[in-house]
Amino acid sequence: MADKIKLMVAILLLVAGLAGFYVLGDKPLVLRILMVLGGVIAAGVVAGLTQSGRGFMKFAKESVDEAKRVVWPTRKEAMQTTGIVFVFVVLMALFIFGVDSLLATIVRTLTSRGA
């Protein structure tokens, strides 16, 4: 029950931050953005105190740890892969253009609109 109350408070803080953005419409934009950020941060802190919030934080930490273990390609490998993708896209575009042109010619011939 306490977790539900905390989540409701977090939602209210988020809504209050967003409402502050519009209520302070005549104030400088920086102040309005700070209002939204304050609401988001306060909502995040309150939501982080719940059971589901702690579970999410654990999941996020494990995700960051997993991303650190990924073997990222080198710049050379990334450039080569990108080049292969570009060549394949161009070849497929030419193939589809050719098939489309052939089908258009066949349809024109069959409907006698080519003359």
Q: What is the pLDDT along the chain (115 residues), one digit of tens a residue?
A: 888 899 899 999 999 999 989 998 888 999 999 999 999 999 989 988 989 888 988 999 999 999 999 998 999 999 999 999 999 999 999 999 999 999 999 999 999 865 5
- pLDDT for res 19: 92
- pLDDT for res 25: 85
- pLDDT for res 115: 52
For residue 1, the SS3 value is coil
Q: Which residues 6+ apart lie within 8 Å of 45 measured at CB?
A: none
Are 78 and 64 in a shared domain?
A: no
Are 114 and 78 in a shared domain?
A: yes
Domain range for 109: 72-115
Nearest-CA neighbor of 86 among 78, 75, 76, 74?
78
- Number of domains present in the structure of the chain: 2
Are 95 and 57 in a shared domain?
A: no
- pLDDT for res 3: 85
- pLDDT for res 113: 62
Dist. CA 87–CA 33, nearest whole Å: 44
- pLDDT for res 7: 87
Distances (CA, A) of 51 to 1, 2, 9, 47, 64: 11, 10, 15, 9, 20
- pLDDT for res 1: 83
Answer with the one of 69, 89, 107 that is the final residue of a domain. Answer: 69
